[in-house]
A and B are shown apart, each in its own frame.
Chain A
């Protein structure tokens, strides 16, 4: 009887020891609440950086070095032009492509209901609703969630306003542009930021 008791006690102790060894460390430690940023706040912050960078580029490179000083020549095919430099929308996309190479976890794109390149037209219902909303409600952003490919995303749509002649001239004169009557200060499209919610 004593042998059985001793054996049971040893087994119980061994089981307790092994189970404690296999437990993940975080469950053993007291639970902590991780500080988190709400998706909307995160999207707003990202957009602020995107907008600031592109505005600075438009103002100081395209307008000042291009239009005023005539040192650079902003052009869609800038790589094939002497002193050519990319347009602000292209700068935005090149920057996006480089950022995406680092797999930052979120995605963003520049879209329009009247895109020069059809690939940049809204595709998902959320994008379509968002672009319509920001066009009809100047100064307001659009937020929502959507399921794409079995994953849930927080999607924010921000107005992309014509801030320079370069924007409206290019879109109004381009042979593939579905609209040719853009004016300064008008919403030409939107920046769509998508953050995964898992």
Chain B
């Protein structure tokens, strides 16, 4: 009996501990208790999906980073690909900075040493390989290595708008080059498919019927049941899942899932709620779910609404709130009043630019694609209207960004001048 009591006590305690920890592990709401530390701005939304990055033993998956970021690196013509460091002739360089692994510069769960762009190295890391730059370039003599990537001069990965010949080619451009106009989106409209009768089992709300009949959906032959029919049993369903939109809008959905708005869906987590955001959001929008119809009002799908009004329904930071005081908005408002639907500068003009890919016009729904470092925005957004120097100067001024470009930039980045002098 004497030995039985400790055994029974041990069994009981073990069972209780198993239930407690098992519950914590399996219950999504309690899972954050297991996070070793706060995750970065870029990954916090998927932090509860441990296996997106980790092996079952909590190691780091070999392709954890590239699974999501590889295409972005390729599109950006990565200036420092891993292959550069894999060559044995560069083994000394690897001793200083192991560029073969993303986590050398971007560790996770280390909030106290994480700076912009998820960088977890001191910001003078360029010094490790480029310490001779002051001797090679007179203009770079005495420059602080912390300024390489912070002043609109260089990026570690993407230098498409910053390489020397590009700077020379666009040297001396006027601040304002073109009026703000977007590439038209190819709408698939076939007159022979145009619909005038709905196939809803009940007479819809007249407003819904009016909205649908005046959109590209009706013009392209997309009737009520094409969206409102369950794929499993063909029964009518009020709620339209993202997969239904995806059936026709594959590229848009794919890029949506790569951005902050949709990244949770990409790893199998429930859709993001506005209240989950770390950015400042409107309190009254906190409960809203982020999906296709959050921005594309269902049935009307007005692109002008999706491009600006939809953003300001949720976003509450200074940059967003100052938009309506900016010259960009003035153009947008005037062009809207004049029914110029592909003109003006909205939130989407810069953050979800229209790009031409393989002869098709695509709206990049990954609004983070050109956001950080913000020089990535120069070619896809700023230079549609502005000269290169004006664009670089504007993006290097945090105060100007906060006030949503309400005046001409006061900062002056010397990179174009230096490039021109070397010509």
Question: Which chain A residues have a beta carbon within 8 Å of chain B's beta carbons?
Answer: 76-77, 79-80, 96-97, 100-101, 107, 109, 118, 123-124, 127, 148-149, 151, 153, 175, 192, 194, 196
Contacts and interface: CB of A to CB of B under 8 A. Distances in A.
Interface stretch (B86-94, B191-199, B301-309, B391-399): B86-94
B165 A107 contact: no
B232 interface: no
Nearest to A150: B91
A175 B423 contact: yes
B63 interface: no
Interface residues of B, number: 17
B160 to A, nearest CB: 8
B166 interface: yes
B89 A148 contact: yes
Contacts of A194: 87-89
7 contacts: A77-B166, A96-B83, A97-B81, A100-B87, A107-B88, A118-B136, A124-B89
Question: Is the contact region of chain A dominated by helix, strand, or loop, or is it mixed?
Answer: mixed
A94 B195 CA distance: 51
Given A77-B165, A77-B166, A127 B86 contact: no
A130 B92 CA distance: 20
A97 B165 CA distance: 23
Contacts, number: 40
Interface in B399-423: 422-423
Query: Ordered nearest first, which 7 A-B pairs have the shortest CB separation?
Result: A149-B91, A100-B83, A148-B88, A107-B87, A97-B83, A123-B89, A77-B165
A192 B88 CA distance: 12
A149 B88 contact: yes
A124 B163 CA distance: 28
A139 B166 CA distance: 39
Contacts of A101: 83
A148 B93 CA distance: 12
B166 A80 contact: yes
B77 interface: yes
Interface centre among A109, A149, A194 (most CB of B within 10 A): A149
Given A76-B165, A118-B136, A148 B422 contact: no
Contacts of A97: 81, 83
A100 B83 CA distance: 6
Contacts of B83: 96-97, 100-101
B89 A109 contact: yes
Nearest to B88: A148
Interface in B56-96: 77, 81, 83, 86-92, 94
A79 B89 contact: no
Interface string B141-170: 000000000000000000000010110000
A143 B422 CA distance: 39
Contacts of B87: 100, 107, 109, 194
B82 to A, nearest CB: 9
Nearest to A97: B83
A49 to B, nearest CB: 19
Given A76-B165, A77-B165, A175-B423, A100 B88 contact: no
